[in-house]
Amino acid sequence: MKKIRVLVVGLGNMGLSHARAYQAIDGFEIAGLCSRNIGERQELKAEFPDVPQFNDYAEALAALKPDAVSINTWPDTHAAFARMAFEAGAHVFIEKPLADTVAEAEDIAALAKAKGLKLVIGYILRVHPSWVRFVEVGRTLGKPLVMRMNLNQQSSGAQWQVHRHLMNSISPIVDCGVHYVDVMCQVTGAKPVSVHAVGARLTSEIDAKMYNYGHLHVSFDDGSVGWYEAGWGPMMSETAFFVKDMIGPKGSVSIAMEESKTQSADVDSHTKTSALRVHHALLNPEGSFVTPDEIIRMDDEPGHQELCNREQLLFLDAIRNDRNMEQHVQDAINSLRIVLAADHSVRTGEVVRL
């Protein structure tokens, strides 16, 4: 069967991991690599020998005519790059967020549908077995649900440089928040109705209108509520930087991560679980718990690279087997709508009705 020729644009942490996935998976062939100042990246020539390299995305598209494009660039380029790929007749894998605005995201989704091309967005937690189990257990806890999540990152050096660059176009609660708000939507299956958020600028190293700490609250039409907190920078605390739990009338489920194993800005820590702790709320006539807490070990969970491979296997399946991705895309737009509403709330002080 003919291999899918992929142009990979953007070769930071995620782009490089996706390029390695295309290299490893039978069914893909890397048609080319594209990144600004790619000539300075000597390690790419060693790892991907004989793969054409480009500084300019439009030039690469025209020269290679790829079957698919993998977009892993800065967020403010996503919508434009996706549009160019679809107009060139290529399927698209794109890192989150899909676009800067909901209207742009909807336009991209409509263009993919009109062209009969596949669009897959990088929601990595959806291919993570531990997070899939977390969602499944959360659905057994009754309604309403209380969902508490954060991902604070104490970044320095190159990691802080990446975060500062990201904040030229996106805030922490938007960039990372789409993943965890998506989890909330999956668990509740409910319609979000309102969002309120606050933010703070804790450093003079970013634009005066940007904030590097944010905290959002979202309410759903089934009575469920959730919060998500994200902060980036050398000032962030590593105490309780990774909180992921859900509470319902029947009990709770929490992701337990051994803090000694990782650091908050390490990309592997953002999906790592170690174990799920399931708590059952039922009491006996004496007022004691009927069932002790259950620990579901996740020692053999996939690492970051394996998760990227799984995302690309999903992309391959979508293309090869004409898998319907419309619900996947609509879910991505839904979570984007919520976090962009939160960003608006930070900037205006208003509760946003969805």
Q: What is the pLDDT of residue 203?
A: 98
Q: Which residues contact 43 (CB under 8 A, 6 or more apart)?
A: none
Q: What pLDDT shows up at residue 272?
A: 55
Residue 270's pLDDT is what?
Answer: 44
Q: Is 1 exposed, middle or buried (0-12, 13-18, 19+ CB in 10 A)?
A: exposed
Among 95, 69, 72, smallest CA distance to 11 is for 72
Q: Please identify which residue in the block is written with the tokens 């960003």.
A: 343
| Residue indicated by tokens 């508490």 | 148
* pLDDT at 256 (0 to 100): 87
Query: Which helix (DSSP H) or strand (DSSP E) does residue 170 occupy?
Result: none
- pLDDT below 50 — which residues of the chain? 259-262, 269-271
Q: Which of 254, 242, 36 is nearest to 141 (CA)?
A: 254
pLDDT at 261: 43
- CA distance linking residue 353 with residue 251, whole number of Å: 29
Per-residue pLDDT at 341: 98
Sign of CA dihedral 302, 306, 310, 311: positive
